[in-house]
Amino acid sequence: MKRTIFYFFASLALLTACQQEDTLDETTGYGYLSFTDISVQVANVNSIHTRSLVEDLSLQGEIRQDGETVRTLTQEDLQGGIIRQKTGDYTIILYSDSYLEYAGWTDNEPGEAVYYAETPVTITEGEENKVTVELPMINFGVRLSLPEDFSTWFTGYTFTVGDGNRTVALTNGQTAYFPYAEGAKITYTLRATNTDGEEMGGEAVDYGTGENESIRPNTIYTVDYSMAVQSNLSAIIVSPSDTSNNGQAYLSFASMDCGAP
């Protein structure tokens, strides 16, 4: 009986020792990270959309160390799952699906906003690192805005905008997106037919090369027309940093005679 009890306690001690060793193996040299918030900057709106947009945007992600991908992040990871990772310094890279596509956009593909962010993180042994990531829009857009009474004075129009590599035709309210690079510029053209049947405009205009002209990422430049007088169509230009216009930038065209309705 005593021998049986002795064997029992000896087995129990051995089992406890094994469990402690397994626990040490799980924590030694490892730490944890989780995403507490993932948000994207939306140009022109001055608002932040939280992680609830991850599924809509279909964000993808990687954990890299020394330039090598050591883990591809899943949707579960991005939605707040606990990630076990070896201790060390890493870079978390998150991006929208459009980041993988936008280099291949062709003429008359308007494109979409592209989001991308790199976040450094250090994994400490036995600790959980809670990460917050904000992804800016790394490209820029150009949107066309015509006045409500435009059709009173004009029977038709064509508007095109390009960055030297790609040209997109837009209708009223549409936005075309372009990759950003230092020294970027755009060329835009508006042709319109007035109610007398005369074709107006057609001159190509560059923006981004003149004094106080600059193209910036995370900005949508809106070509905004207004009917200054009944016989004249004009546009205004406002600096992208003018927050009274919700971060919008306005490009200007030369005035165009409308003709008689």
**Whether the Cβ atoms of residue 57 and residue 96 lie closer than 8 Å to each other:** yes
Residue 22 resides in a domain: no
Residues 135, 138, 140, 141: is their CA dihedral positive or negative? negative
Cα 77 from Cα 259, distance rounded (Å): 60
Q: Are 148 and 246 found together in one domain?
A: yes
Cα 112–Cα 113–Cα 119 angle in degrees, nearest 5:
145
**pLDDT value, residue 175:** 92
Choose among 134, 121, 179: nearest CA to 42: 134
Mean pLDDT of 95-112: 92
Residues 100, 101, 104, 110: is their CA dihedral positive or negative? negative
Beta pairing, strands 88-95 & 47-49: unpaired
DSSP code of residue 115: B
> Could you tell me the two tokens for 126?
């036995």
Which of 135, 157, 185 is the C-terminal boundary of a domain?
Answer: 135
Q: Are 52 and 153 found together in one domain?
A: no
**pLDDT value, residue 44:** 52
Mean pLDDT of 46-70: 71
Cα 112 from Cα 161, distance rounded (Å): 15
What values do phi and psi take at 19, rounded to 5? -65, -40
**pLDDT value, residue 42:** 67
Cα 215 from Cα 135, distance rounded (Å): 19
**pLDDT value, residue 221:** 87
Cα 101–Cα 246–Cα 253 angle in degrees, nearest 5:
80
Model confidence over 209-252: pLDDT tens digits? 888 788 889 888 887 777 655 445 544 333 333 333 333 443 44
**Whether the Cβ atoms of residue 101 and residue 5 lie closer than 8 Å to each other:** no
Cα 77 from Cα 93, distance rounded (Å): 13
Overall number of domains in the chain: 2
Reduce the DSSP state of residue 90 to 3 states and report it. Answer: strand
Q: Using 50, 70 and 90 to split pLDDT, how confident is the model at 79?
A: confident
Q: Is the pLDDT of residue 7 over 60?
A: no
CATH code, domain carrying 241: 2.60.40
**pLDDT value, residue 132:** 92
> Among 31-45, 51-65, 118-132, 147-161, which range has the highest average pLDDT?
118-132
Its domain, for residue 236, covers 140-257
**pLDDT value, residue 181:** 92
Percent of the chain with pLDDT strictly greater than 90: 43
Of 109 and 41, the structure prediction assigns the larger pLDDT to 109
What values do phi and psi take at 170, rounded to 5? -120, 150
**pLDDT value, residue 219:** 87
**Structure pTM?**
0.76
Q: Using 50, 70 and 90 to split pLDDT, how confident is the model at 27?
A: low
Which H or E run includes 188? strand 186-194
> Could you tell me the two tokens for 175?
């936005």
Q: Are 248 and 144 found together in one domain?
A: yes
Give the least confident one: 82-91, 151-160, 175-184, 198-207: 198-207
Residue 47 resides in a domain: yes
Q: What is the dihedral of CA 159, 161, 167, 172, to 10 degrees?
A: -40
Choose among 82, 81, 94: nearest CA to 127: 82
Residue 76: Cβ within 10 Å count:
10
Q: Are 47 and 96 found together in one domain?
A: yes
Reduce the DSSP state of residue 55 to 3 states and report it. Answer: helix
Of 63 and 234, the structure prediction assigns the larger pLDDT to 63
> Among 13-17, 44-48, 151-155, 244-248, which range has the highest average pLDDT?
151-155
Model confidence over 166-211: pLDDT tens digits? 999 999 999 999 999 999 999 988 888 988 888 888 888 888 888 8
Q: Are 145 and 247 found together in one domain?
A: yes
Q: Is the pLDDT of residue 20 over 80?
A: no
